[in-house]
Amino acid sequence: MNCRNLGEFCENEAKGVVQSLVLDSEKGELVKASGRVEKRIGKSEGKTIAALKSHSEAERRRRQRINAHLSTLRNLVPSSDKMDKAALLAEVVRQVKQLKETATHVSERFFIPLDSDEIKVELIAENAIDGTCLYRASVCCEYRTHLLSDLKQTINSLHVNLVKSEISTLGSRVKNVFLFTNLIHGGGCATIQAREIFLASVRQAFSSVLDKVSAFPEYSAYPNKRQRVSCFDSSTLLF
């Protein structure tokens, strides 16, 4: 099909004019230029043309989708006008690498929540006398309503002895750190296996708090519009 576009072709088709035919040298007969699949010009021709048309339209939509994202990226990248697609993408790669590296440096140096969700639970110290273990759990995620009370409930349900809790925010993201022991009425985690099971259950408990927001979108912090600034006042700090 060597027509400039299918719309044009179909117009002519309606007038009974076939504009482009191909000489197949193997068979020595004329077939439609696109007609490698269908060997004869029959009444299925209309269907073929319709399929071809929808195909090219789908492909056009696909290109539009991709190009829309590319132009969005153009707006995000300074002075990227007059860059061709490859150069633009190269610049985006550079920027993303740079931003990620910076984020790494920031999180290495400061105790603030960043973009990636994170749950970390680890053993900090063990009391040699009574076997009491001190643990540190940190949870970094997007803020949502009831997040803090959910975390508090989680801590309560774990029946641990909360020693200290810290909270820090950046934009709409929040990071909580809890120091706790698993000992309330004597007796630590006797074995290494028992400890690992305990750590896993703590991780699981915090995970389900984070999963809540995806399961129930109404828990999202800002159903209407995402806010930029910190959303806490001291009265919210329940621990």
Partner DNA sequence: TATCACACGTGAAAC
Partner DNA sequence: TGTTTCACGTGTGAT
State yes or no: residue 69 binds DNA (CB under 7 A): no
Cβ 134 to a copy of itself, closest distance in Å? Answer: 29
**CA–CA distance, 59 with 169 (Å, rounded to integer):** 45
Task: Convert residues 155-194 into a mask of x (bound to a copy of itself by CB under 8 A) and - (unbound).
Answer: ---------------xx-x---------------------
Name which of 28 and 186 has its Cβ closer to a copy of itself.
28
Taking the complex as a whole, the smallest distance from the CB of residue 119 to DNA amounts, in Å, to 32
Q: Which of 69, 85, 100, 120 binds DNA (CB under 7 A)?
A: 85
Distance CA 34, CA 1 (A): 5
Q: CA nearest 203: which of 146, 135, 110, 147?
A: 135
Choose from DNA, a copy of itself, none: what does 22 bind? Cβ within 5-8 Å by kind: a copy of itself
Least Cβ distance, residue 16 to DNA (angstroms): 19
Candidates 46-54, 64-72, 179-187, 214-222: pick the segment binding a copy of itself (CB under 8 A): 64-72
Which one, 72 or 227, has the nearer CB to DNA?
72
**Residue 156 amino acid letter:** N
User: What are the backbone angles phi and psi of residue 130, rounded to the nearest 5°?
Assistant: -105, 5
Of 73-92, binders to a copy of itself (CB under 8 A) are 73, 76, 85-86, 89-90, 92
Residue 95 binds a copy of itself, judged by CB under 8 A: yes
| Residue 189 Cα distances to 125, 126, 184, angstroms | 12, 10, 12
* HSE of 34, CA atoms in CB hemisphere, 13 A: 14
Residues engaged in binding a copy of itself (CB under 8 A): 2, 17-23, 25, 30, 33-34, 62, 65-66, 69-70, 72-73, 76, 85-86, 89-90, 92-93, 95-103, 105-106, 109-110, 112, 114-115, 170-171, 173, 228
